Amino acid sequence: MATINAQIRELRKVSGLSQTTFAEKFEIPTSTLQDWEHNRRTPPSYVVSMIDKLLASEKADKPVIGNSILNKAKSAKDNDEFYTTYETIAKEVSHYTAAFRNKIVLCNCDDPYESNFPKFFIKNFNVLGIKKLICTSYMPSEKFSLASNGYVLMLDNVPETIGTTSEDADIYEFLKKNNSVKRLVGNGDFRSDECVGILKESDIVVTNPPFSLFRELISLVTEYNKQFLVIGNQNAITYKEIFPLIQENKAWIGYQFGDMSFKVPQDSEPRETRFWIDETGQKWRSLGNAMWLTNIDIKRRHQKLDLCKLFDAEIYPKYDEFDAIEVSKVADIPLDYSGIMGVPITFLNKYNPEQFEIIGEANHGSDNSFDLFKPTVDGKLKFKRILIRNKMAMESAY
Ligand SMILES: C[S@@+](CC[C@H](N)C(=O)[O-])C[C@H]1O[C@@H](n2cnc3c(N)ncnc32)[C@H](O)[C@@H]1O
């Protein structure tokens, strides 16, 4: 749980008020609030709890007993604090090594000392031929005592003595000696002017952002025409900010698609499934629907998907409301059908834009302009489908 000082800071931020207005609102001397926010004094916990409840009631536009902004923030945090393992990063980046040569790499949701993204790129700086590595963190790192600023790591040179077998301690020592980590002016929000300035200078963004900010991060990065390799949840595929990018071949799925394990903070609540504690006491969670999204070219998207089934109207029924056939497994895509087909979302992991065209999706039929209909067959609702057309279909057989 965050300290009481951090809680009062968080509450004021959520309220959107300046220190002066917030202090006036709750009849606290401004200097006292400043002392609380800067850890010079600690507010009584009942005061924080009262302010929390008052703000939550105000937000709900009515008195709500027991409501809490901090609890809400904690549960949002629980869903956002998934820390990527070194192996997950190494496994994915191994498919794009040429893309990093002479490039400025930005990890913009990454604490220089805690995230494995900086660790990976420092250890592989010379092997990948990176020109510069920049990592920015959001809010203070636990390694620093000063509050409210993010940190930035900037490196344009890593000694050859640091490599894949280096210990963490050697890396920290190097960063310290080299004075490579500095305080940002602001809190390190990747959307802040300061961080967007850094983004503009960079070539490739590689990170795992909070899932709740995934679409904002991808929108920002594509707005500035940057390359990216970013972890997200497969649910994001059908977001209105993401699907058009995939449809227009401006983004595609990376290599790892499905199961991914993440370290989670020690104060994470245990869960019945996909949660465990390892022998060191570290808490873990896994997702069955994680993915990497990228716009760096990969071999896989130029490989033709081998098809061996033939179309048969008895086997491939049409949807109730749309002239398209239901194909419930990617392996069953008929090689000779040139009309629209509904396929599972896992198709995207095999998608070759020279072979197929993405027409839209079938989900609720109303989510977005590309959500064309509700995928029912004889009144039975199917899973969410991607609608595709085989550009190379052999039409002779039907
Ligand atoms: C899912 S965690 C992943 C951390 C790290 N990238 C990794 O993969 O291990 C997301 C991180 O984004 C940071 N974060 C949250 N909101 C942010 C924002 N608006 N801008 C930048 N970073 C943010 C959090 O502090 C958290 O460390």
Domain ranges of the chain: 4-76, 81-298, 303-397
Q: What is the pLDDT of residue 396?
A: 46
Q: Which atom of ligand 1 is nearest to the CA of 114?
A: 9
Cβ–Cβ < 8 Å for 353, 249: yes
Q: How many Å lie between the centroid of ligand 1 and the Cα of residue 67?
A: 26
340 has pLDDT over 50: yes
Q: What would the two tokens of residue 92 be?
A: 């994915």
CA of 208 to the centre of ligand 1 (A): 7
What confidence category does residue 206 fall into, taking pLDDT thresholds of 50, 70 and 90?
A: very high
Q: Residue 70: pLDDT above 70?
A: no
Which is higher by pLDDT, 199 or 3?
199
Classify domain 81-298 at the CATH class level: alpha beta
The answer, yes or no, to whether any atom of ligand 1 lies below 6 A from the CB of 190, is: yes
CB distance 187 to ligand 1 below 6 Å: no
Q: What is the pLDDT of residue 231?
A: 98
Best of 109, 213, 268 to mutate for ligand 1, by most ligand atoms within 8 A of CB?
Answer: 109
Into which CATH architecture does domain 4-76 fall? Orthogonal Bundle (1.10)
Ligand 1: nearest atom to the Cα of 211:
1
* Nearest CA residue ID for atom 6, ligand 1: 208
* Beta-ladder partners of 263: 83, 284
81 Cβ below 6 A of ligand 1: yes
Note the pLDDT of residue 15: 77
Q: Does the CB atom of residue 83 touch ligand 1 within 6 A?
A: yes
pLDDT tier for residue 47 given thresholds of 50, 70 and 90: confident
Nearest CA to ligand 1 atom 15: 210
Instruction: Identify the pLDDT of residue 153.
Output: 98
The answer to which of 136-140, 166-170, 185-189, 322-326 has the lowest mean pLDDT is 136-140
Residue 138's φ and ψ, nearest 5 degrees, are -100, 120
* pLDDT score of 63: 52
Q: Which residues, listed in sequence order, are joined to residue 293 by a DSSP beta bridge?
A: 230, 253
Question: CB of 117 closer than 6 A to ligand 1?
Answer: yes
Bridge partner residues of 388 (DSSP):
341, 358
Tell me the CA–centroid distance for residue 112 and ligand 1, in Å: 12
pLDDT of 235 over the 70 cut:
yes
Closest residue by Cα to atom 2, ligand 1, is 81
pLDDT (tens digit, 9 = 90+) per residue, 248-285? 999 999 999 999 999 999 889 999 999 999 999 999 99
Helix, strand, coil proportions of the chain in percent (round to 5)? 35, 20, 45
Residue 83 Cα: closest atom of ligand 1: 9
Say whether pLDDT at 20 is over 90.
no
Whole-prediction pTM value?
0.81
Ligand 1 atom 18: residue of nearest CA: 189
Q: How far is the CA of 210 from the centre of ligand 1 (A)?
A: 5
pLDDT at 152: 97
Q: Is the pLDDT of residue 24 over 90?
A: no
Nearest CA to ligand 1 atom 19: 189
Please tell me if the CB atom of residue 241 comes closer than 6 angstroms to any atom of ligand 1. Answer: no
CB 256 within 8 A of CB 291: yes
* Candidate of 105, 138, 211, 215 to mutate for ligand 1, largest count of ligand atoms within 8 Å of Cβ: 138
pLDDT at 154 over 70: yes
Of 144 and 263, the one with more pLDDT: 263
Query: Which ranges of 66-192 does DSSP label H, i.e. alpha helix?
Result: 69-80, 86-93, 116-123, 125-128, 168-177
Q: What is the mean pLDDT of residues 7-20?
A: 83
User: Average pLDDT, stretch 290-313?
Assistant: 96
For the ranges 25-34, 214-223, 233-242, 331-340, which has the lowest average pLDDT? 25-34
Residue 142 clears pLDDT 60, i.e. is over it: no
Taking residues 222-231, what's their average pLDDT? 98
- pLDDT in the model for residue 242: 97
Confidence of residue 236 (pLDDT cuts 50, 70, 90): very high
- Which atom of ligand 1 sits closest to the CA of residue 190? 20
Is residue 364's pLDDT more than 50? yes
- Does residue 37 contact residue 9 with C-beta atoms inside 8 Å? yes
> Quick one: which atom of ligand 1 is closest to the CA of 111?
27
Six-digit token string for 368: 């977005």
Name the band, by pLDDT with cuts 50, 70 and 90, for residue 79.
low
Å from CA of 264 to ligand 1 middle = 12
- Ligand 1 atom nearest 263 alpha carbon: 9
Q: Taking a C-beta distance cutoff of 8 angstroms, is the pair 112, 135 a contact?
A: yes
How many Cβ atoms sit within 10 Å of the Cβ of residue 210? Answer: 17
- Strand partners of residue 343: 386
Nearest CA to ligand 1 atom 9: 83
Mean pLDDT across 294-314? 96
Can you point out the beta strands (E) in the chain? 83-84, 104-107, 132-136, 151-155, 181-183, 204-207, 227-233, 252-264, 275-277, 283-294, 324-326, 340-343, 356-362, 371-373, 376-377, 380-381, 385-390
190 Cα–ligand 1 center, Å: 9
Mean pLDDT of the chain: 91
Q: Rounded to the nearest whole angstrom, what is the distance from the C-alpha of residue 107 to the centroid of ligand 1?
A: 10
